[in-house]
Amino acid sequence: MKNETIGENKDTSTLYKPLISIMGIVIIILLWEGVVRITNMPSYILPAPSRVLIALIKSSPLIWSHTKITLYESMTGFTVAFVFSFLLVFAMDNIPSVKEMIYPVLFISQTVPIITVAPLFIVWFGYGLLPKIIIVALVCFFPIAVSLIGGLESTDKEMHDLLKCMGANRMQIFRTVKLPGALPSLFSGLKIAAAYSITGAVIGEWLGAKAGLGEFMRRSMHSFAVDRTFAAILVVSLLSLGIFRIITVLEKKLMPWTELTEEI
């Protein structure tokens, strides 16, 4: 009886959490709308949410054409970052000298703001898709690599030694013990990188591009069409949330034991 009550309380709390979050967003939007209308704020300074929604609907074909380019850049850069970080971390995990040589470089690279080097990529590679993909890959590489390194280092040492005593080679130990144990940390890094991927693409487009949401926002700002800029910002947020959600679903599929742990 007690367990049934606890289960009902969990279901109720799970149901109310999304509703509370939605209520918070609705309250902010209503306050925003009310302040703009009461103060008669000019739309070129701060448009009302209703005006942003109208701009989103009217400009939806144009925004969608730019969105496809931004999404392509972000997903390509994200994939490149994942592949390179996985290969590099695998080498670092198996060759200690490689780790000692590259690990400090990873942290030093983060002291250089990406916005300061992004214009150089545009100078070197032009205004096409390549510089934006490189920017996204650089932005996503660090959180994926560092989270994977931390996950591999935190795996069960006793299980590692046991398999080694049983004659397992490095690849077998990596596949059966290290990689499964590192998945929670890896997915944490992937979620962070997912949000960075869209942001990195938009930053690259803002600095110089032929198309994309960043370029759309830049043109809108120059035209004082702030409502269209906010509409693009809304799309960027929705894209980041969508990618985050996809990774969360993938995490549950690849780590079904986490749901069992939560239920217990």
Q: Fill in the DSSP letter of residue 43.
A: T
The rounded percent of the chain whose pLDDT value lies above 90 is 5
Is residue 37 situated within a structural domain? no
| 41 assigned to some structural domain | no
Instruction: With respect to residue 144, please indicate whether it lies within any of the assigned structural domains.
Output: yes
6 pLDDT band, cuts 50/70/90, is: very low
**Domain around 116:** 59-263
Domain CATH code at residue 147: 1.10.3720.10
Inside any domain, residue 25: no
Whether 229 is covered by a domain: the verdict is yes
Q: Is residue 143 part of a domain?
A: yes
* 153 class by beta-carbon count within 10 Å (0-12 exposed, 13-18 middle, 19+ buried): middle
Average pLDDT, the chain: 79
pLDDT tier at 76, thresholds 50, 70, 90: very high
pLDDT at 3 (0 to 100): 47
* Residue at 229: amino acid letter: T
For residue 30, the one-letter residue type is L
- Report the number of distinct structural domains present in the chain: 1
Q: Which residue has the higher pLDDT, 6 or 38?
A: 38
Binned at pLDDT 50, 70 and 90, residue 258 comes out as low
pLDDT band for 16, please (50, 70, 90 cuts). Answer: low
Identify whether 33 is part of a domain: no
Q: Which helix (H) or strand (E) holds 152?
A: helix 130-153
pLDDT for res 80: 92
Question: Is there a contact between 213 and 205 (Cβ–Cβ < 8 Å)?
Answer: yes
42 falls within a domain = no
- On the question of pLDDT at 99 being above 80, the answer is no
Query: pTM of the entire structure?
Result: 0.79
Q: What is the pLDDT averaged over residues 220-243? A: 87
- Please give the residue that has the higher pLDDT: either 171 or 60: 60
